[in-house]
Amino acid sequence: MRVLITGAGGQLGGALQRLAPAWAEISAIDVADCDLTDVPMLTARLVVEAPELILNAAAYTAVDKAESDEETARAINAGAVAVMVEAMAGTGGKVVHVSTDYVFDGTSSTPYAPDAARNPQSAYGRTKAEGED
């Protein structure tokens, strides 16, 4: 199975590469070789890679900086996800998108259920929530 890991240079992306099963044909991209805010570049890269599964570990994770650069955070955390999903539409392929607990408001005293109501309190949380949609 052809698997594309995005965010390959990050902690999670690196771990996914190291832990990949032998049967997976892994390719990996990071910001150094594919700007996720550049839709034509990302689209072309997805065509070349032709993955059957995308593990999206890429994210704009500068939580504080996202407050003043929400446009870039949105382009990466939501826009790039939409491009990946659209690229996989009709191919039978899947996208696994990694999100964050920042999509919640942090007021719960117990762990959040996957279907818990979201209430992001920051630009980072809002853009990651948009990526889930």
**And the tokens for 59?**
């994210």
- The DSSP bridge partners found for residue 5 are 28, 55
Q: Which residues are catalytic?
A: 124
- The DSSP bridge partners found for residue 133 are none
The set of residues, in sequence order, having a beta carbon less than 8 Å from that of 30 and lying 6+ positions away, is 6, 7, 8, 9, 10, 13, 58
- The DSSP bridge partners found for residue 103 are none
Q: Which residue has the tokens 């034509």?
A: 40
Question: DSSP of 44-85, one letter per residue?
Answer: HHHHHH--SEEEE------HHHHTT-HHHHHIIIIIHHHHHH
Q: For residue 89, which phi and psi values (nearest 5 degrees)?
A: -60, 130
